[in-house]
Amino acid sequence: MYQILLVEDDVQICEVITEYFHNKNEIKITVAHDGEAGLELAYEKEYDLLLLDVMMPRLTGFELCKEVRRDSMVPIIFLTARGREEDVLYGYDLGADDYVVKPFSLAELYAKCKALLNRSKGLVGTKLLQCGTIAMNPTTFTVTVKEKEVVLPPKEYSILKYLLEHKGALVERETLLTRIWGYDYEGNERVVDNRIKNLRKELGDAGKQIKTIITKGYRLEN
Statement: the pTM of the whole predicted model exceeds 0.75: no
pLDDT of residue 11: 95
Query: How far is Cα of residue 178 from the mean position of the Cα atoms in its chain?
Result: 13
The residues of the chain that CATH labels 3.40.50.2300 are 2-120
The residues of the chain that CATH labels 1.10.10.10 are 129-220
Mean pLDDT across 100-121: 88
Q: Residue 214: pLDDT above 80? A: yes
Give me the torsion for CA of 45, 49, 55, 59, rounded to 10°.
30
- What is the distance between the alpha carbons of residues 213 and 23, in angstroms, rounded to a whole number? 47
pLDDT of residue 184: 57
Q: Residue 124: pLDDT above 50? A: no
Neighbours of 206 (CB within 10 A): 19
Mean pLDDT across 118-124: 65
CATH-assigned architecture of domain 129-220: Orthogonal Bundle (1.10)
Report DSSP state, residue 79. Answer: E
- What is the distance between the alpha carbons of residues 124 and 119, in angstroms, rounded to a whole number? 5
Residue ranges of alpha helices (H) inside the chain are 11-22, 35-44, 61-68, 85-93, 106-120, 154-165, 173-176, 190-203
Query: Is 3.40.50.2300 the CATH classification of the domain at 2-120?
Result: yes
